[in-house]
Structure 1
Amino acid sequence: SISLILQVLIPISSICQKKVELFIKGGTDVLWSPTMDYTRYVLGEAYSRMGINVSMKLIKRGYYPKGGGEVKLEIFPSQIKSISLIKRNTKKIKLFCSFSKLPEQIIQEKCKKIELELIKNKFDVEFSIKKEDANDSGSSILIASIDNNSIIGVDSVYDKKINEFNLDLNKITKNQLGIDENLADMLVLPASLTNDMTIFTVPKISKHLETNLYVASKFTRCKYGIGKIPGGFEVRIEGVLDTSI
């Protein structure tokens, strides 16, 4: 999974003293990992607000199981800063879908069904779909809601066994907090490398988040706290001053 590798490489490379250029081959849209669109548009948005200057260029999709995707990155020296994401204030949603070597009509129908469900929940949906030339058949979808105070996304790869996207739309339609539960654990590393307090609200504390907070505190000496709030939890991470490589 290219996306999982980037969660470590991007924050660490950004605190180097020189520009880092990477060319990575592998899976861009695979099981148990964020899709490349989630990484670019959701995680990438969070990185940008935290001062991380990175250019991610998707050259070729790589769907499970053959992979073969290609991503080119440029990561520039950055001063990582804290972020505050507390409450969603928008009803606008973007829906991205990519597919390769699958019937376009079927993928269109699946996406339209999801779009209609979002519209029923009073969301203003911007929908785009792109046909790709990958080594294997596959498809992925991202639904993202972003405003000044929140970054929320939910994604899925297409399950060819049941011919469906395995999506829980409640994770985006019912979430009025600052971020989604998957983004939460991805923000721990960069937040631990700042010189200030990062604060975000999240509907659920995942095991991934708990683990990342504990491990980051041991490596970087950051401090963290978790408090219960209506509808979820507030997480605070106090980073370490002037961490660099």
Structure 2
Amino acid sequence: MIQIDASQGEGGGQILRTALALSIITQQAVQLKNIRAKRSKPGLMRQHLTCVRAAQAISGATVEGDALGSTQLSFKPGPVKAGEYAFAIGTAGSCALVLQTILWPLLFADAESTVTIEGGTHVPMSPSFEFLEFSFLPAIQKMGVHAQLELLKHGFYPGGGGKLRAELKPWHTQAALDLQSRGERISQHGLCLIANLDQSVADKQLAEVRRYLNWNAEDVVHQGLRNSHGVGNALVLNVQNTEHTEIVTSYGDKSKSSEFVAQQACTEMKHYLASDAAVGEHIADQLVLPLALVGGKFTTNIISEHFKTNCAIIQAFLNVVFKIEKLNAHCYLVEVGAEVQKEK
């Protein structure tokens, strides 16, 4: 059984999600201790518990420690099983992060799967649905993944109530990723989502986007959501290039001004655009696991602690070497493959 101290590095829920996914893929049992020990509320929150239950459902795993607040977990998987699955987090916990846990194992199943997840689709500290659909999905399709995503209902923090669906086909033809350049700019787009809020929120945020990024009026739009459960606000910035679409999302709440929410997203996008990198910080985190599975390379503008921690957990399960080369002040080449293994 692989032993993992989940307080290492960044110490967040990503350690749990990566460990569960690779435990199923490699059929190696895992025991985690000190889960989320550095957080203000340590242990398994409802979102993380849903990740565990979802991983258990698709693999018939034997699990110990799967309780709210638990800081230790034992997970012994069986073979992954394709099927039609539905999971409800019960809070505004991230649907995207639950999907992240079971996506890669289900791609190794012998038949198609459908997954429906209820919870938060646009919540802080997690990927937005637009990120999944327009940035993450096209990137992994370059690796031979066949998947479709559908947003059934928006869900914001703290109300939740969102729903997404994923249709996944077996990953029969696997291709190493080569994403070293973003290519030429095709379009830029700012979308402000508001649920049960005054339109002035969107007006202020989009005006700030135009000012900060020097975008035109036709580059920004707002969407009022009438069927959302509770109030919510998300600002989604989209820059489409020939090789990659970068998505940056920031979320509003009562403690932040509309202008501040816009500035958060704009600052992150501006840093990305000022670099030579193909992908930004957050999708780099998401690509490192499939890169470890089938090889490849990409460039990113930031190597975060989150990224480094994810690499360490992956290496607990897989005999891979991550080669990270600093090309310039704001561009790093990340590489996994046979030639990297030989260098080791």
Q: How many percent of aligned residue pairs carry the same amino acid?
A: 23
Give the strand-richer structure, 1 or 2.
1
Structure 1 residue 125, shift from structure 2 partner: 6.7
Which region of structure 1 is more displaced relative to structure 2, 161-170 or 26-35? Answer: 161-170
Aligned equivalents of 2:301, 2:217: Cα separation in 1: 22
* 8 Å contact kept, 2:184–2:242: no
Structure 1 residue 176, shift from structure 2 partner: 2.6
Which of 297, 315, 332 is matched with 1:199 structurally?
297
What SS class does the counterpart of residue 230 from structure 2 fall into?
coil
Name the residue aligned to 2:119.
Answer: 26
* 8 Å contact kept, 1:115–1:125: no
Name the residue aligned to 2:224.
Answer: 131
Name the residue aligned to 2:140.
Answer: 47
Structure 1 residue 124, shift from structure 2 partner: 10
* 8 Å contact kept, 2:210–2:217: no
What SS class does the counterpart of residue 171 from structure 1 fall into?
helix
Which of 59, 62, 69 is matched with 2:162 structurally?
69
Q: Which TM-score applies when normalising by structure 1? A: 0.87
Aligned equivalents of 1:15, 1:218: Cα separation in 2: 20
* 8 Å contact kept, 1:82–1:191: yes
Aligned equivalents of 2:305, 2:201: Cα separation in 1: 35
Structure 1 residue 129, shift from structure 2 partner: 2.8
Name the residue aligned to 1:218.
Answer: 316
Amino acid at match of 1:178: A
Matched, 1:237 2:237: no
Which region of structure 1 is more displaced relative to structure 2, 216-225 or 14-23? Answer: 216-225
Which region of structure 1 is more displaced relative to structure 2, 182-191 or 95-104? Answer: 95-104
Show the 5 A alignment for 1:83-94.
Answer: 83-91=177-185, 92-94=187-189
What SS class does the counterpart of residue 250 from structure 2 fall into?
strand
What SS class does the counterpart of residue 145 from structure 1 fall into?
strand
* 8 Å contact kept, 1:53–1:76: yes
Name the residue aligned to 2:38.
Answer: none
Name the residue aligned to 1:113.
Answer: 208
The runs of 4+ residues in structure 1 deviating greater than 3 Å are 123-128, 148-151
Show the 5 A alignment for 1:139-178.
Answer: 139-164=233-258, 165=261, 166-167=264-265, 168=267, 169-178=269-278
* 8 Å contact kept, 2:159–2:230: yes
Check 1:50–1:128 CA distance in 2 against 1; reply closer, same or farther (3 A cut).
farther
Matched, 1:209 2:307: yes
* 8 Å contact kept, 1:85–1:151: no
Per-residue CA distance 1:119-159 (angstroms, 9 max, x = gap): 36xx8974343222211111112212233434422211123
Name the residue aligned to 1:80.
Answer: 174
Gaps in structure 2 of 5+ consecutive residues:
1-93, 339-344
Number of aligned residue pairs: 235
Amino acid at match of 1:217: Q
In terms of Rg, which structure is larger? 2
RMSD of aligned Cα (Å): 2.1
Amino acid at match of 2:160: G
* 8 Å contact kept, 1:93–1:124: no
